Chain A
Amino acid sequence: MHWTTCDRPGHSLCVALLTRARPTPAQNARAKGPSTVGQKVVMAATGILLVLFLVAHMLGNLKVFAGASAFGEYAQWLRRLGDPVLPQTAYLWIQRVVLLLAVGGHIWAATALTLRARRARPVRYAHRRPVRGSYAARTMRWGGVIIVLFVIYHILDLTTGHLNPVADPANPYATVVADFAPGRWYVTLFYGLAVVAIGFHLRHGVYSALRTLGQQTSRGERRARAFALALSVLLCGGYLAVPFAVLTGVVR
């Protein structure tokens, strides 16, 4: 090693800091694939994309309250979006591909981190106090699985119409109203539970994503938690409004 002096102003202490005695292990061998931090960044970035979709989708759903024709027009508009540059439903397909990639990346990162966590503790504690962190943080993994199952059901219900009693592509309003009819309370209940699961998932997920992307002050942490809670409550409320409005006859 030799001595050099850093000549930046105020860096009188940087004597010899610019030389390295030997390469760090990082320079010798690089692991394949993203690090655990990289995996979390994938999870955060895809998660934010999905949250943006959730906000847009909620706003679209609330059009139900504007009446059958406004809701129908909105559905038509979704299919026309990009016209005349893009063909019919092109935008919808682009969105589907992007969402599918995001969901895929999100699940890949979650699975990789879960498997790594399993391997990281081969012998369990005989006496394990329940995790003290929030309920939301504890249920991220199972919550995620429930949400995926819900989305599959939901697409078969309101997009492809396989599980819907009306399934009239020309009349999405009637399709939604039939879906949550009082006689089908169990469907409404399932939607309600899934939406609450999403609320919990986002309550920890949004805070965690901000932390992963570098949020690092305690004031920022309080804000991030408050923002995550507010967003979750807002989305829950917005999504629950439609099924419960139909169930109670406000929308018919």
Chain B
Amino acid sequence: MNLTLRVWRQAGPETRGRMVTYRVEEVSPEMSFLELLDVLNERLTLAGEEPVAFDHDCREGICGMCGIVINGVPHGPQPATTACQLHMRHFSDGDTIDVEPWRARAFPVVKDLVVDRGAFDRIIRAGGYISAPTGSAPDAHATPVPKPDADAAFEAAACIGCGACVAACPNGSGMLFTAAKITHLGLLPQGQPERSERVRGMIEAHDAAGFGGCTNTGECAIACPKGIPLTTIGRLNADYLAAVRGRQQ
């Protein structure tokens, strides 16, 4: 099939960007979206032009590196699918496809479609971990965890930190990401001693990074390629309220 791509080109963090139109011919429906960009880049390179910079690593939907807004939707039109797992068969011959980077002040554009997601690292550094070396994986029955808790923790732990939640949120909020980590760690016994410090630190880092505040609109959970539920944000709120109240006593 033949496609028209309108791609955000921006030479560097300080330069102005713009949408540039490219024709890509003979696209196979079996290609992934990133392979489409590979084909475009090969042709640009042969023509002596600068290839389009974009992030990617595993190309199997588990690392969270790829992240582009396709026709206004983070990771494109397929639900629960990362851009690297999105196949061209979901598009039709003659389509015009808009490709843009995540748009958020906390995620400044590095080049073209590549953004700096260091703000997520700063949130993690503020408490999104267990601050003790716990050794190798313990026996599964060493510390009993109720099955529903284990399931919910696992569901939240599926977050790959891609940032689609921020890209989709009308407020540019990073709350779903933060809430996924709070839920994942807060449901397990290992996460208990630092639970209140964690939520206060991570919210503070979230706000300091320039993300917007959550208003429970739910766009994030719709866009999330890993299906992190919106209920995690309720859990974050409950932990935060408990932590703040605890400090005042």
A-side residues, CB < 8 A to B, are: 1, 6, 10-21, 24-27, 30-31, 35-41, 112-113, 116-117, 119-129, 131-133, 137-138, 140, 204, 207-208, 211-218, 220-221
Contact = CB atoms under 8 A, between A and B. Distances in A.
B132 A17 contact: yes
A120 B229 contact: no
26 contacts: A11-B143, A12-B142, A13-B138, A13-B143, A16-B133, A17-B193, A20-B131, A25-B208, A35-B204, A36-B211, A36-B214, A37-B213, A116-B171, A117-B170, A117-B212, A119-B105, A120-B104, A120-B106, A123-B109, A125-B103, A126-B6, A127-B69, A133-B222, A211-B233, A214-B241, A218-B231
Given A36-B203, A212-B237, A126 B217 contact: no
A38 B213 CA distance: 10
A50 to B, nearest CB: 17
Given A117-B171, A125-B100, A211-B233, A26 B204 contact: yes
A130 to B, nearest CB: 9
Contacts of B35: none
Contacts of A120: 104-106, 171-173, 210-212
B207 A214 contact: no
Given A12-B142, A36-B206, A125-B103, A211 B237 contact: yes
B134 interface: yes
Interface in B193-231: 193-194, 197, 200-201, 203-208, 210-219, 222, 229-231
Closest 5 CB pairs of A and B: A214-B238, A36-B213, A120-B172, A216-B234, A26-B201
Interface of B: 6, 8, 19, 69, 71-73, 98, 100, 103-106, 109, 122, 125-127, 130-135, 138, 142-144, 170-173, 175, 189-190, 192-194, 197, 200-201, 203-208, 210-219, 222, 229-238, 240-241, 244
B238 A116 contact: no
B207 A221 contact: no
Contact of A119 (B192, B210, B215, B235): B210
Contact of B215 (A16, A21, A41, A140): A140
A214 B183 CA distance: 12
Contact of A37 (B100, B189, B240): B240
Nearest to A3: B132
Contact of B190 (A17, A19, A204, A217): A17
Contacts of B210: 119-120
A125 to B, nearest CB: 6
A162 B224 CA distance: 53
B212 A129 contact: no
Contacts of B216: 137, 204, 207-208, 211-212
Contacts of A15: 132, 134-135
A221 B212 contact: no
Contacts of B233: 211
Contacts of A13: 134, 138, 142-143, 189-190
B217 A138 contact: yes
Nearest to A123: B103
B217 A213 contact: no
B215 A113 contact: yes
Nearest to B125: A25
B234 A211 contact: yes
Contacts of A35: 203-204, 207, 240
A127 B215 contact: no
Given A13-B138, A31-B207, A214-B241, A126 B212 contact: no
A41 B132 contact: no
B217 A131 contact: yes
Given A116-B212, A117-B171, A121-B105, 20 more contacts: A11-B189, A13-B138, A16-B133, A19-B132, A24-B125, A25-B125, A26-B197, A27-B197, A36-B203, A36-B214, A41-B237, A113-B212, A117-B212, A120-B106, A131-B219, A138-B217, A211-B233, A211-B237, A212-B237, A214-B234
A17 B130 contact: yes
A63 B150 CA distance: 54
A16 B189 CA distance: 13
Highest count of chain A CB atoms <10 Å: which of B73, B210, B231: B231
Given A17-B132, A121-B105, A113 B237 contact: no
Nearest to A136: B217
